[in-house]
Amino acid sequence: MLHQEPDLTRLGAIFNDHRATSGLTYDELAEKSGLSRQTLLNLAAGRFNGDLRTWMLLAKAFDTSLDAMLDPAWSDHK
């Protein structure tokens, strides 16, 4: 069985989709997630992929599961 890798280049789009759906501004999301506004801007621009903690905090702020939020990074590989 081959081990598939997620497409990490999709993380910026995943973040942007969730932020747009949530209707939260960067400042509101920063307050809700505990992440800095600059970190959020870097995620949105694809300059930073974040780490597990980053995505766990975002999933909680977006009121979704980590699996559901990051599933699109795997979808082209299934």
* Global model pTM greater than 0.85: yes
Question: Exposed/middle/buried for 16, CB within 10 Å: 0-12, 13-18, 19+?
Answer: middle
Ordered structural domains, the chain, with CATH = 8-73 (1.10.260.40)
Instruction: Please report, in tens digits, the pLDDT of each residue of the chain (78 residues total).
Output: 456 889 999 999 999 999 999 999 999 999 999 999 999 999 999 999 999 999 999 999 999 999 999 999 987 544
